Amino acid sequence: EAQVTQNPRYLITVTGKKLTVTCSQNMNHEYMSWYRQDPGLGLRQIYYSMNVEVTDKGDVPEGYKVSRKEKRNFPLILESPSPNQTSLYFCASSLWAGANYGYTFGSGTRLTVV
C-alpha cells in the first residue's frame, strides 16, 4: 500500500531533550515536506526536500532540523524542544515539487513538550 509513515504517533517529552520524528514513504517520491498544524493557524511548512541531500527552509524552520540521506526517509529533528513546539506534525511527499502532483500525507505526530 502506497503510504507515508510517521513515528511515533504520540510523544510527550521535556524541554531540551532532543527528539527525532521519523518519516518514510514507499512511493519513490522525490519531494518530501514537514508541516505543523496549530489551532487557528492551519498548516505551516517547516522544511522541505526536493531530492536526496537537498533540503530547504519553509515558513517556520526555527528550532528544527531535517536530513535527507536517502530518498524514502525524511526525519524531523528537534535538538532542544521547547513548549512552543507543542503541535501536530505532518510529513508529506509528492512525486515532484509543485502542487500539480498533490501531496500524500502521513497520519500525523502529536507532540507535547512540557
Residues lying near other proteins in the complex (CB under 8 A): 4, 31, 35, 40-45, 48, 50, 56, 58, 90, 92, 97-100, 102-108
Q: Given the complex with other proteins, which of 16 and 102 has the nearer CB atom?
A: 102
Q: Given the complex with other proteins, which of 7 and 105 has the nearer CB atom?
A: 105
In angstroms, give the least distance from the CB of 95 to other proteins: 12
In angstroms, give the least distance from the CB of 114 to other proteins: 21
In angstroms, give the least distance from the CB of 55 to other proteins: 11
Separation in Å, CA 104 to CA 8, 30, 55, 87, 112:
18, 12, 18, 20, 24
Rounded Cα distance between 5 and 25, Å, is: 6
**Beta-carbon-side half-sphere exposure of residue 59 (alpha carbons within 13 Å):** 8
Q: Given the complex with other proteins, which of 81 and 106 has the nearer CB atom?
A: 106
